[in-house]
Amino acid sequence: MVSVIIPAFNEESRVVSVVRSAMSSGLADEIIVVDDGSTDGTASAARAAGARVVRLSSNQGKGAAMVAGARACSGSILVFLDADLVGFRPDHLKQLIVPVRTGRCTMSLGVLKGGGFWSSNAQAMFPFFTGQRAMTRAFFESVPHLARERMGAEVALNAYAKQIGAKVLRVYLQGVGNTHKESKLGVVRGTAARAKMYKEMAHAVVRARRHTSFTSWR
């Protein structure tokens, strides 16, 4: 069973297209949008598009939203998608799922390519920081302290995969990009949000390097 989980914060105008693409693939047994304390109509829009919605009472960060989605779903394969994707198609979901389903890897990473200047260049420099990924539930549930990692969730996943020697495979999602923060929030607020994101990721890198033993988040 495949569960698609889409963490979302104030993505009312963007989440619908991601939900619909996942639904039309025929590969997702369930689609869950985790509304991470949004102040807009994200939850209503996602529900209208056909997703099941899990609502967090306050903004807790991406890691907590991912954990909440995993706890609410039934899949043995978990797929995580950003809510602000542009150009995401059903065949892209297949690219993420098949390597995990066939045992070629424990986690697949969807690297964005050709979907816009900012997305493509950021992914070219830091391909392992993508939010598009599929993995086994067993692996996800063993990653430590994930709920406390806000925008550092991907760092924690990568670090744990490296530590236990899990097989990770990159796939390239051609024509897919993210809506960058400056476009969503304006230059001033968007730049501030981007700086905050990078700070949280940097802190996650430091924490990952300090940890020598791990326990489950369960």
Of residues 50, 85, 45, the one with CA closest to residue 184 = 85
Cα 151 from Cα 95, distance rounded (Å): 24
Residue bearing the bigger pLDDT, 58 or 197:
58
Helix pair angle (15-24, 42-49), 10° resolution = 20
Q: What CATH number has the domain bearing residue 194?
A: 3.90.550.10
pLDDT beyond 90 at 6: yes
Of residues 149, 137, 145, 128, the one with CA closest to residue 71 = 137
In a domain, 49, yes or no: yes
Domain limits for position 154: 2-210
79 CA to centre of own chain = 8
pTM: 0.82
| Amino acid at position 151, single letter | M
In a domain, 216, yes or no: no
Cα 130 from Cα 25, distance rounded (Å): 21
pLDDT beyond 80 at 194: no
End-to-end CA distance of the chain: 21
**Total count of domains within the chain:** 1
In a domain, 217, yes or no: no
**Both structure tokens of 5:** 């989980």
Query: pLDDT tens digit string along 157-174?
Result: 998 999 999 999 999 999
Cα 144 from Cα 127, distance rounded (Å): 22
In a domain, 215, yes or no: no
